[in-house]
C-alpha cells in the first residue's frame, strides 16, 4: 500500500505521484472539502499553534482501480461510517420488498377468505328461508305448531341462523383486516368507525330474526274489506318472525359484488383507482342495468312478484273466510294488478299486513319503471349524440 501524509502544508506523496494527484482531484470534486477539527482547549490556552490533523490517504493494493479511500477515525469497518453504510445498503431494500410481497399475498388470501365467507353466508341464509316456508305451509294444513315436526324444523332454522351470524361476524373481521393491510394500520380499533359499527349491528339484527321453537300466539283483530265487520282470531307469533327473514336476500347483492369481474379483475380495479371510482354494490348494479337492463328487470320483477304473493297469502289466511286472498293464485292475481297499477277492486286485502305488502309492491314497481325510463332516456341521448357526430363528419366530407 502506498500512502502520503498531510500535515497542514503541501501534500507529499511517497510514491505514485501522478496517479495520486489525479485521484485526489476526482475525489475533491465529488466530496466536500476537508476541514480540520478545532484545537483542544488546553492547546488554545497555552497559546501555541494547534497541531494540524493528520489524514492518511491510501490506495488499497488488492483493488486494480485507482480510486482512493478516505478513511476517517472510524476506519473502513462496518458501523456508522461510510463503509458500513455502503455494505449494508441493500438489506433495507430487500427487507422492504419482502414486506410488500408478504402484504400483497396476505391481502389476496384475505380476499379469497372473504369471498368464501360471503358464499357460505348466502347458502345458510337461503336455507333458513326455504325451511321457514316449508314449516309455515306444513303447519297450516298438515300438522299443528305443537307437533314434533314443527319443533324439529324450527330447531333447524335456529341452527342455520346461529351459523349465519357466526359467518357474518367472521366476514366483518376479515374486512377489518383488509382495511388494516390497505392502510398500514396496526390497531384494529382504527377501522371501527361509528358507521361501520352501526351497519354491523343492523346486519346482525336483520339476520337474527327467525321463528322461535315453540307455540306462541296472540290475538289479531282486523276489519273485513267488504262487510266492514271486525274479525278477531288467534294467530301465531311465527308469522311476525317469518316474513322479515326475506330481508336476508341482501346477501345476494354482496355475493354478486365479490364475484363480479369489475371487482376481482386487477386491470379494472387499477383503472377505477386512477379515476377515483369506488367499486361497491351500487356501481355493480348500475353496470348490470347498463349491460343487460331487460334481464335484470325481469329477474327482479318475477322474484318480487312471488315473494309478495306468498307474504300476502301468509298475512291474509287468518281473516279470509272465502279463501280469496289466502289462496296463492289469488294472491298472485292481487299482486299482478297492483304491479300494473290497475286495481280492479275484485280482491282487497283485509289486514294491514297485506295492505302494506301491496303498497310496497306498488312503490317498488314504480321505482323500477322510473329506472327503466332513465335508462331509455340516456340511451336516446346517446343515439342523438351519435347522429350529430355522423352529420358533422358528413358535412365535413362534402
CA dihedral over 133, 138, 143, 144, signed as positive or negative: positive
Assess whether pLDDT exceeds 60 at residue 14: no
178 neighbors 110 (Cβ within 8 angstroms): yes
212: which DSSP letter?
P
The DSSP bridge partners found for residue 235 are: 218
The DSSP bridge partners found for residue 236 are: 217
Q: What's the confidence (pLDDT) of residue 85?
A: 43
44 — pLDDT class (breaks 50, 70, 90): very low
Higher-confidence position of 384 and 282: 282
3 state DSSP class of 375: helix
**List of residues 6+ apart from 168 with CB closer than 8 A:** 121, 203, 204, 207
Residue from 272, 167, 159 nearest 211 by CA: 159
Q: Would you state the cell numbers that stand for residue 229, as one nine-digit string? A: 265487520
Which run of H or of E encompasses 29? helix 17-30
Which tens digit of pLDDT belongs to each residue from 338-362?
A: 877 777 777 888 888 888 888 888 8
6 — pLDDT class (breaks 50, 70, 90): very low
Q: Would you state the cell numbers that stand for residue 234, as one nine-digit string? A: 288467534
Interatomic CA distance for residues 230 and 223, integer angstroms: 4
Interatomic CA distance for residues 43 and 117, integer angstroms: 78
**Domains of the chain, CATH where assigned:** 2-89 (no CATH), 101-280 (no CATH), 288-398 (1.10.287.70)
255 — pLDDT class (breaks 50, 70, 90): very high
Residue from 70, 100, 62 nearest 3 by CA: 70
198 — pLDDT class (breaks 50, 70, 90): very high
pTM exceeds cut of 0.75? no
56 neighbors 71 (Cβ within 8 angstroms): yes
Amino acid at each position: 500500500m502506498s500512502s502520503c501524509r498531510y500535515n497542514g502544508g503541501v501534500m507529499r506523496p511517497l510514491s505514485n505521484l501522478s496517479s495520486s494527484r489525479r485521484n485526489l482531484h476526482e475525489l475533491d470534486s465529488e466530496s466536500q472539502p476537508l476541514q480540520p477539527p478545532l484545537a483542544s482547549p488546553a492547546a488554545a490556552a497555552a497559546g501555541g499553534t494547534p497541531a494540524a490533523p493528520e489524514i492518511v490517504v491510501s490506495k488499497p493494493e488488492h483493488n486494480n482501480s485507482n480510486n482512493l479511500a478516505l478513511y476517517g477515525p472510524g476506519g473502513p469497518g462496518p458501523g456508522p461510517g461510510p463503509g458500513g453504510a455502503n455494505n449494508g445498503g441493500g438489506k433495507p431494500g430487500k427487507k422492504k420488498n419482502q414486506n410488500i410481497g408478504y402484504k400483497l399475498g396476505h391481502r389476496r388470501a384475505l380476499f379469497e377468505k372473504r369471498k368464501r365467507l360471503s358464499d357460505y353466508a348466502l347458502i345458510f341464509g337461503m336455507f333458513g328461508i326455504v325451511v321457514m316456508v316449508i314449516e309455515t305451509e306444513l303447519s297450516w294444513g298438515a300438522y299443528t305448531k305443537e307437533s314434533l315436526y314443527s319443533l324439529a324444523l324450527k330447531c333447524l332454522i335456529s341452527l342455520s341462523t346461529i351459523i349465519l351470524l357466526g359467518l357474518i361476524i367472521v366476514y366483518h373481521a376479515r374486512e377489518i383486516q383488509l382495511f388494516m393491510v390497505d392502510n398500514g394500520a396496526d390497531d384494529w380499533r382504527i377501522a371501527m368507525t361509528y358507521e361501520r359499527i352501526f351497519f354491523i349491528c343492523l346486519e346482525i339484527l336483520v339476520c337474527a330474526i327467525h321463528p322461535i321453537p315453540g307455540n306462541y300466539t296472540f290475538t289479531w283483530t282486523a276489519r273485513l274489506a267488504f262487510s266492514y265487520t271486525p274479525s278477531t282470531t288467534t294467530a301465531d307469533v311465527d308469522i311476525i318472525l317469518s316474513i322479515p327473514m326475506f330481508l336476508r336476500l341482501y346477501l345476494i347483492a354482496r355475493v354478486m359484488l365479490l364475484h363480479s369481474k369489475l371487482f376481482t379483475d386487477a386491470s379494472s380495479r387499477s383503472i377505477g383507482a386512477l379515476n377515483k371510482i369506488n367499486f361497491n354494490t351500487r356501481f355493480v348494479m348500475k353496470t348490470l342495468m347498463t349491460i343487460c337492463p331487460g334481464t335484470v328487470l325481469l329477474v327482479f320483477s318475477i322474484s318480487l312478484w312471488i315473494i309478495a304473493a306468498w307474504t300476502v297469502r301468509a298475512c291474509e289466511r287468518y281473516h279470509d273466510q272465502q279463501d280469496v286472498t289466502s289462496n296463492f293464485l289469488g294472491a298472485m292475481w292481487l299482486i299482478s294488478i297492483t304491479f300494473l297499477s290497475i286495481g280492479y277492486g275484485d280482491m282487497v286485502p283485509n289486514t294491514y299486513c297485506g295492505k302494506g305488502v301491496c303498497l310496497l309492491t306498488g312503490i317498488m314497481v314504480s321505482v323500477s319503471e322510473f329506472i327503466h325510463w332513465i335508462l331509455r332516456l340516456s340511451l336516446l341521448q346517446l343515439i342523438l349524440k351519435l347522429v350529430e357526430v355522423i352529420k358533422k363528419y358528413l358535412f365535413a366530407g362534402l
